[in-house]
Structure 1
Amino acid sequence: MSKHSNCENDTSARSRLFGYGLTVLLSSALLLVLEIVAGRLLAPWIGVSLYTWTSIIGVILAGLSLGNWLGGVWADRGGSGRSVGTVLGLAGLYCILSLIGIDTLGSRLQEAEASLLSASFALAAALFFLPAVFIGIVTPLLTTLALRLDARAGHVVGRMHALAAVGSILGTFAAGYWLVQWIGSRALVLMCGILLMLLAVPFLRGARRSTQTALSLAVSVALAGLLLSHGLAGSCERESRYFCMRVVEQPTPPEAGPTRGLVLDHLLHGINHRTEPSLLVAPYVHALDELAAAHFGERYAEGLRWFFAGGGAYSLPRAVESLSPDSSITVAELDPLVTLTAVESLGLDPAPMHIVHRDARLALQSEAEPFDVIVGDVFHDVAIPPHLVTREFAALVRERLAPDGLYLMNVVDTLPDPLLIKSLINTLQTAFAQVDIWMDHVPEAERVTFVISATNGTPLPDTIIARHGFVRRWQRMTDAVLGYGRDPRELPILTDDYAPVERLIAGLLIGESQ
């Protein structure tokens, strides 16, 4: 063989090795893009929690592991480049098909009243297990093909594993920092499907015409089905780096007038009257306002210094600004797009307020002047950020409150034995002399939004009667709630080191208490 022929062979081998490595890099990146976008894609149906992410990560790792094993077996039994093209094409096709079925599957799980744990696992498995299996097959197949071109086994295997890892890292950062918020979750899944099929094309060039025709037909049918089913529409009006959000018209009593609600992921986070900001539709938001008014009396109307940990629909900040125009209002809302949505669609006028788009704990730490009222309205979905319910955060709240200041918060938990509420009361009692639970009635539903007050000032009266808006009254229910079920002394004080929020609200997530 001539020297020229050897050169051509070397060049061809290097080109193919480069192509194999690039395919491993890109397919691994696309799998991690799918993993990151999975949380957002599933959020409108099951929300976002530790259990949700556990299901997503576990399912994708399981699929990847099975794919790696199958790829190794296939490689030993004669797997070829055409095999790589086939699995990449199937992965891309499945991504498109998943967009057609997600709404139907999500609706069925809701109708079946599946627990959040079982629903999150079912959705993750149905939508992402098979793509992970198909993509997992690629690396061992291409590594085996590369070893036929380069005898340096250690070098080839190490390079392929490194490229897979680098691709995963790039996919993670690209999706989390940029792609989800600029492209949207469903469009991003479609893009991943198309790119996976494009990766398959070079490997299928030598395939029989019937194979190419079948794949083209399947893709055409899937795309047509996607368009006809409105699979790209989804339920999000806007997507930020934190939330899938939409504004919905809310049914209220005819005398109340028109109201709108803000839905973040799959949970309604606030209801605003379009023209009367002081009319608080949600009972728990109304309670927060009335507790502050009862605590401070005439000082409420004269103007207080308020700090809100969480903005959401800005229902209470709007009401305070309307009822007490001389108040100083600071709102720490993590997501700027939530604020923009409240301004454009929920009647918020941000001019009289100081709005900080920052984590509430960091924002509160940076404040020097004491506040009269601090409101914690930060639960997301059914959970609450753990670092905002700990003993250390309670101490920070106490330091930032005036001596007679009032800390108010709302938290979702279950009846009749709310373990998170009991742990939270234990925690707040490390910083406050008077900690109470307030309810306007004892609901039949298991899922309840509790209102908690904490102060080192004068205790509130046992009954609070609404002074404006809907006719309501709230009772101090501390002893009744704490006295039923598990002894609060058996439950932990929440700390920055140990705050098992998801375990304590397991009744909401998996249907049982821990």
Structure 2
Amino acid sequence: MTSPQQRIALYAVVVFLSSALLLVLEIVAARLIAPYVGVSLYTWSAVIGIVLAGLSVGNALGGAWADRRATAGAAGGVLLLSGLASLAVPWILWLIASRLEHIELSILSTSLVLVMALFLLPAILIGIVTPLLTTLALAQSERTGHIVGMMHALSATGSIIGTFAAAWWLIPALGSRNVVLASGVSLFLCGLVLMTPLTGPKRLTATAVAFAAAIGLGISTWFNPALASPCDHESSYFCIRTIDEGEHPTLGKARSLVLDHLLHGTNVENDGTYLSAPYVQLMQELMCRHHHDKASLKAFFVGGGAYTQPRAMWLASMPVDITVAELDPVVTQIARDELFLDDGDMRVIHGDARAVLRRLPAGERFDIIVGDAFHDVSVPYHLVTREFAELLHARLTDDGIYVLNLVDTYPDGRLAMAMMRTLGDVFAHVDVWLHEVPYEKSRVTYVLSASKKPTEIVGVPDELNAVTQPRRRWLRVTQRLSTDIEALGTVPILTDDNAPVEQLISSLFTTGIGQ
């Protein structure tokens, strides 16, 4: 027979562990849906909102159940079910994700459906446990305030540790699918502990059935190739995949890098100057034409990704001193191992580009700064503000140029307009370009250039024809956006205190255009 103190300690440990595991599942939820909807404020709000909703419903149910004299065995049974629900997550994802891709839902709607289907039930079940066990602990002690405070503190502490453990250790070390399986097994074991000693044939039978189901789900999930993670590698930042694009007759092998659900770049083995994406080629054309009369260049890249642009710049005809600020060291290593990157003569610094620029020696200046750190429709706010533009202005030479790309809609690209206004508040000359002007509202990739002196473009003022391969044409849309800004009158200059990026590109999240 266990003492009251031992029972209280057991209930406290289970509350701590179940709370930690719920937050592990919450963090991994964002990673599991990232290959289908990316990562943004909208997807994170869907994850946090649904999990909190499930937790709230569970707490209410657990409190009502506690008033009806629920037992530790009942709490254990709920944890067994939560473990089974967690083990079923890869199966549910496999069943619905592919079907959702064929339905024209918005990113926000897809995020809500995925998170609800995957994690609402586990959150409800785990939420039931804390009020049940807190009530059971109160029956073992007269120190009611102490028990309630302790249980709340342990629940919060478990949540904190679960958050950090998932993001900093578990996901990079084990991968998302394995973290889900481990969480399901851990919840199941917590339930078994609460249900011992097993008394009565019904409880024994129910536990045996649940145990067999858990073993079956775990084994079938582990060995089923259809349920394998879509990621080749998982870092603290991305689900990373490389795709073999085949072999070109003269250019050799071609491989692409996919971060979450966005293709970030395609590299060919034998010709690093070949740029398949129109916006990447345009950025290269603008930089080289702006500095066509220079014997050598010094360039800084905000983001490396597939390293397509730094690689092309390095292999161009003129000598270039290249510095790359890439947030994720795993991405850099994959570019070296699988994407034909030879960065032996580049300076690669792993860290946030804004922080890296600030740490560089005070007198270091660049002829070119390239902004390619936007992740699909997810925009790092601190890299679009006037304060960041002022830092770039200070780091550019007098004849330097800043070139960046961003995703928005056309014709009412409010983020593109805001960026043009923001850069125009710091730089003397700003231009905006498109590969094609769509006939109807569409998702497009804008290329912006900003400089202290005019950009020298040869040929028709609002039309640029490629001098590199493949042959392409781009159109300047600066004047069109300027006219729209005057008509709207509501597009802000982005600052560190006010950068409503998601609001400006909300149609990409709330309509099918963004997919």
**Would you say same fold, with TM above 0.5?**
yes
1:223 CA drift (Å): 2.6
2:157 matched to which residue of 1? Answer: 166
1:307 matched to which residue of 2? Answer: 300
1:361 matched to which residue of 2? Answer: 354
Cα distance in 2 for partners of 1:394, 1:228 equals 50
Whichever residue aligns with residue 455 of structure 2, its letter is: P
Q: Which moved more, 1:457-466 or 1:235-244?
A: 457-466
Which of 109, 129, 146 does residue 155 from structure 1 map onto? 146
1:222 CA drift (Å): 2.0
Cα distance in 2 for partners of 1:51, 1:196 equals 29
2:437 matched to which residue of 1? Answer: 442
SS, match of residue 313 in structure 1: coil
Which of 408, 411, 415 does residue 416 from structure 1 map onto? 411
Q: Is the 8 A contact 1:416 1:485 kept in 2?
A: no
Q: Is the 8 A contact 2:106 2:512 kept in 1?
A: no
SS, match of residue 274 in structure 2: coil
Note closer, same or farther for the CA distance 1:428–1:36 as it changes in structure 2 (3 Å cut): same
SS, match of residue 490 in structure 1: coil
Q: Which moved more, 1:466-475 or 1:133-142?
A: 466-475
Deviation string for 1:441-498 (max 9, x for gaps)? 2245711111101111123332332222201122222112443588353211000001
Whichever residue aligns with residue 140 of structure 2, its letter is: L
Q: Is the 8 A contact 2:76 2:195 kept in 1?
A: yes
1:51 equivalent to 2:51? Answer no
1:322 equivalent to 2:315? Answer yes
Deviation string for 1:75-132 (max 9, x for gaps)? 1112101111111001110111111121331211111021010011111111111111
Q: Is the 8 A contact 1:506 1:512 kept in 2?
A: no
1:6 matched to which residue of 2? Answer: none
Q: Which runs of 5+ in 2 are unaligned?
A: none
Q: What TM-score, normalized to structure 2? A: 0.94
Cα distance in 1 for partners of 2:40, 2:232 equals 22
Cα distance in 2 for partners of 1:371, 1:93 equals 56
Which of 162, 173, 180 does residue 182 from structure 1 map onto? 173
2:67 matched to which residue of 1? Answer: 76
1:242 matched to which residue of 2? Answer: 237
1:296 equivalent to 2:301? Answer no
SS, match of residue 492 in structure 1: coil
Deviation string for 1:388-430 (max 9, x for gaps)? 0000011111110011110100001111211100011010001
Percent identity over the alignment is 48
Q: Is the 8 A contact 2:107 2:512 kept in 1?
A: no
SS, match of residue 298 in structure 1: coil
Whichever residue aligns with residue 332 of structure 1, its letter is: A
Cα distance in 2 for partners of 1:344, 1:285 equals 22
Whichever residue aligns with residue 298 of structure 1, its letter is: D
Which of 397, 405, 421 does residue 402 from structure 1 map onto? 397
2:341 matched to which residue of 1? Answer: 348
2:467 matched to which residue of 1? Answer: 467
Cα distance in 2 for partners of 1:282, 1:498 equals 32
Equivalent residue pairs, number? 502
1:331 matched to which residue of 2? Answer: 324
1:254 CA drift (Å): 6.6
1:377 equivalent to 2:372? Answer yes
1:228 CA drift (Å): 5.4
Q: What TM-score, normalized to structure 1? A: 0.94
Q: Which moved more, 1:439-448 or 1:341-350?
A: 439-448
Q: Is the 8 A contact 2:185 2:214 kept in 1?
A: no
Cα distance in 2 for partners of 1:488, 1:182 equals 48
Cα distance in 2 for partners of 1:473, 1:187 equals 47
Cα distance in 2 for partners of 1:221, 1:86 equals 18
1:215 matched to which residue of 2? Answer: 210
Whichever residue aligns with residue 499 of structure 1, its letter is: A
Deviation string for 1:207-252 (max 9, x for gaps)? 5222122212322332344245436521100001100000012379
1:457 equivalent to 2:453? Answer yes
1:93 matched to which residue of 2? Answer: 84
Which of 170, 188, 192 does residue 183 from structure 2 map onto? 192
SS, match of residue 3 in structure 2: helix
Cα distance in 2 for partners of 1:456, 1:487 equals 27
2:276 matched to which residue of 1? Answer: 281
Q: Is the 8 A contact 2:104 2:512 kept in 1?
A: no
Deviation string for 1:167-207 (max 9, x for gaps)? 11111111111111111111000000000000011222325
1:230 matched to which residue of 2? Answer: 225
Note closer, same or farther for the CA distance 1:253–1:478 as it changes in structure 2 (3 Å cut): farther
1:502 matched to which residue of 2? Answer: 502
SS, match of residue 258 in structure 1: strand
1:265 equivalent to 2:260? Answer yes
Note closer, same or farther for the CA distance 1:358–1:224 as it changes in structure 2 (3 Å cut): closer
Note closer, same or farther for the CA distance 1:34–1:231 as it changes in structure 2 (3 Å cut): farther
Cα distance in 1 for partners of 2:467, 2:409 equals 29
Cα distance in 1 for partners of 2:245, 2:444 equals 20
1:30 CA drift (Å): 0.5
Note closer, same or farther for the CA distance 1:433–1:485 as it changes in structure 2 (3 Å cut): closer
Cα distance in 2 for partners of 1:212, 1:297 equals 75
Q: Over the residues paired in the alignment, what is the CA RMSD in angstroms?
A: 1.9
1:255 CA drift (Å): 6.9
Cα distance in 1 for partners of 2:437, 2:187 equals 53
Q: Which moved more, 1:388-397 or 1:210-219?
A: 210-219
Q: Which moved more, 1:347-356 or 1:365-374?
A: 365-374
Deviation string for 1:39-89 (max 9, x for gaps)? 111111111000111010111111111111100111111210111111100
Q: Is the 8 A contact 2:92 2:117 kept in 1?
A: no
Cα distance in 2 for partners of 1:275, 1:40 equals 34
Cα distance in 1 for partners of 2:246, 2:448 equals 27
Q: Which moved more, 1:228-237 or 1:149-158?
A: 228-237
Q: Is the 8 A contact 1:390 1:495 kept in 2?
A: yes
Note closer, same or farther for the CA distance 1:510–1:341 as it changes in structure 2 (3 Å cut): same
Whichever residue aligns with residue 480 of structure 1, its letter is: R
Cα distance in 1 for partners of 2:250, 2:447 equals 26
Whichever residue aligns with residue 86 of structure 1, its letter is: G
Q: Which moved more, 1:476-485 or 1:262-271?
A: 476-485
